[in-house]
């Protein structure tokens, strides 16, 4: 039986199907988590900014030395531009990211006593921090539930038929309405894991996916189980 599409599915049926997909994916990826290495809210905020147009793996190669050298917002505010650029260069767009980190440090010192605020409305006032970055920090550093709409989440929720929205804020609100607030952060992790490892942008491994029975996009990728299994990615290389 084909899966109902958003135009034929009732709101109750959509909610039940979405939650079923989440439960199955949670079983598939019980280890799902933020893949950026950090130990403080500031470290996570910096790492998330560096991850733009880069990979978490590459950022994690850079941050040990970065975090050892810059331990506070004041350190970033006072950072030597050339030195900081050299450290973040491997993540790409290093000049813009250097300026973002220096400005961010100054704003945290001037407006928040050098501390990363724990409210979304405050976080999004900081240079280089949008709702996606704010929700990453809130969910993983402060335990405040949030939905992180990155490229993987946006792609998957549209393939799953959970929403047809493309604007990240509208996607966030549409998906948030389908799930209890307590699930939002883990839901984001699970979707990102699935998007990176199975439901790829160009060639999804449909034949190796555990939620095909509830996915209206089944068949857009490789459906042969053997061939699909070869597309699965468990470890991400820096250039992947």
Phi-psi region of 143 (alpha: psi -120 to 50; beta: other; left: phi over 0): left
3-state DSSP percent of the chain in helix, strand and coil, to 5: 60, 0, 40
Q: Which residues are catalytic?
A: 132, 150
Q: Are 60 and 83 in contact (CB under 8 A)?
A: no
76: closest CA among 92, 95, 58, 99?
Answer: 99
**Burial grade of 76 (CB within 10 A; 0-12, 13-18, 19 or more):** buried
């Amino acid at each position: 039986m084909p899966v109902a599409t958003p135009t034929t599915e009732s709101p109750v049926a959509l909610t039940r199907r979405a939650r079923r997909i989440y439960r199955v994916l949670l079983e598939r990826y019980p280890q799902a988590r933020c893949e950026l290495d950090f130990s403080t809210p500031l470290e996570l905020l910096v790492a998330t900014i560096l991850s733009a147009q880069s990979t978490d793996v590459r950022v994690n190669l850079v941050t040990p030395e970065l975090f050892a050298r810059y331990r506070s917002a004041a350190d970033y505010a006072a950072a030597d531009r050339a030195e900081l650029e050299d450290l973040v260069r491997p993540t790409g767009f290093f000049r813009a990211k250097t300026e973002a980190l220096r400005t961010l440090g100054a704003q945290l010192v001037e407006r928040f006593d050098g501390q990363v605020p724990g409210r979304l409305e405050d976080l999004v006032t900081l240079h280089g921090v949008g709702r996606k970055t704010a929700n990453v920090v809130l969910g993983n550093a402060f335990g405040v539930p949030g939905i992180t709409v990155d490229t993987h989440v946006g792609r998957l929720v549209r393939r799953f038929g959970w929403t047809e929205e493309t604007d990240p804020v509208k996607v966030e609100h549409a998906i948030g309405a389908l799930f209890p607030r307590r699930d939002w952060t883990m839901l984001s992790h699970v979707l990102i894991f699935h998007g990176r490892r199975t439901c790829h942008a160009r060639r999804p491994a449909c034949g190796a996916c555990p939620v095909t029975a509830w996915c209206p996009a089944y068949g857009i990728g490789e459906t042969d189980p053997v061939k699909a299994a070869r597309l699965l990615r468990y470890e991400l290389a820096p250039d992947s």
